[in-house]
Copies of this chain bind each other. A is one copy, B any other.
Amino acid sequence: MNEAVKERYDADFWQSRLENLVEHYRPFSVSGRNAEYIPALGKIDSSQLGICVIGSDQTMIKSGDWDVPFTLQSISKVISFTAACLTRGISYVLDRVDVEPTGDAFNSIIRLEMHKPGKPFNPMINAGALTIASILPGETAREKTDSLYSTIEKMIGKRPVINEEVFQSEWQTAHRNRALAHYLKETGFLEADVEQTLEVYLKQCAMEGSTEDIALIGMILSNDGYHPFRGEQVIPKDVAKLTKALMLTCGMYNASGKFAAFVGIPAKSGVSGGIMCAVPASLKREQPFQTGCGIGIYGPAIDECGNSVTGGMLLKHMAQEWDLSIF
């Protein structure tokens, strides 16, 4: 992608500001801690903080540990939802997963039992993401992940690498996800085998990316699915809008409401410390991001909700200073 993006050096001002912000917020990583249920994540240097911002005008600025690869974890839920909509159509997908936020934990099973017939409330919680994984096209886990990788390739020009250590680690301890999947199997909201679905879901969680990769995906979403560097509509406009709405209402775990209130950007986080943002165009904003941008952030120390501590602080600051809020 580096080739595709002309790094416009008239962006020097913004670049320099970004570097200041990254160094300012990096030390706050001490107030969070790495996700520990995955041993491979626990070992990572918590003080890492990186960011990449890609404007639809082909501007790109980046700072800190922007090029460290990390596993996408829940950020992949946005991609698999998009892939499902692309391949199955929105209405097929929404017959199987709703798009309503909940105040429940991401791995909660309660609502499936309380609300008949147990349709997952949205694709950003595990129950919904498992259903989405199960309806990706293909008869095997391989075919399903392939259809996911193709969607990613359309956006970032390459297929993702799977972190096998993380995948194996999650595979062996996925009791809660297996519980959810079996529950969904019973209520009819899983269209593939439980183990097959889990393989797809955990592989997507273990896909690696850098802040540049997710910034690019975020930028495409911000641009209603149109890839300006390629000059191609890679995601239909309605799917892109739907995806951004989901990110805003459900993307930041149980802090989604507060994130919408105080940052105001469609975003999706993962427990590995990544955050992918899609900032739509805005009249109010100055150049170079007036026509919208994608932001990728990586800071592995997370808070009790599962969101990157330093990433969240950095975003809140930028949203106010750079007028990024959609509200």
Interface residues in chain A, defined as those with a beta carbon under 8 Å from any beta carbon in chain B: 98-104, 108-111, 113-115, 121-122, 175-176, 178-183, 185-186, 194, 240-242, 244-246, 248-250, 254-258, 260-262, 264, 266, 280-284, 290-291, 325-327
A178 to B248, CA, bound (A): 33
A135 to chain B, nearest CB (A): 17
A194 to chain B, nearest CB (A): 7
Query: What are the nearest 4 A-B pairs in CB distance?
Result: A175-B186, A100-B257, A179-B182, A101-B101
In the bound complex, residues from chain B placing their C-beta under 8 Å from that of A240 are 327
A305 to chain B, nearest CB (A): 10
In the bound complex, residues from chain B placing their C-beta under 8 Å from that of A103 are 100-104, 111, 115, 121
Considering only CB atoms, which chain B residue lies closest to A257 in the complex? B100
Task: Provide a sorted-by-A list of 5 A–B residue pairs whose CB atoms are within 8 angstroms.
Answer: A99-B260, A102-B102, A109-B110, A245-B261, A281-B284
User: Is A110 a contact partner of B100 (Cβ separation < 8 A)?
Assistant: no
Identify whether the interface residues of A are mostly helix, strand, loop, or mixed.
helix
Give the contacting residue for A257; candidates B122, B244, B257, B325; CB below 8 A: B122
User: Is B175 a contact partner of A185 (Cβ separation < 8 A)?
Assistant: yes
A298 to B246, CA, bound (A): 27
Considering only CB atoms, which chain B residue lies closest to A325 in the complex? B241
In the bound complex, residues from chain B placing their C-beta under 8 Å from that of A186 are 175-176, 179
A312 to B41, CA, bound (A): 45
In the bound complex, residues from chain B placing their C-beta under 8 Å from that of A176 are 182-183, 186
User: Is B281 a contact partner of A264 (Cβ separation < 8 A)?
Assistant: no
Considering only CB atoms, which chain B residue lies closest to A108 in the complex? B113
A249 to chain B, nearest CB (A): 5
Q: A102-B102, A103-B103, A176-B183 are in contact. List 4 more A-B contacts (CB 8 A).
A: A101-B103, A103-B104, A179-B180, A242-B262
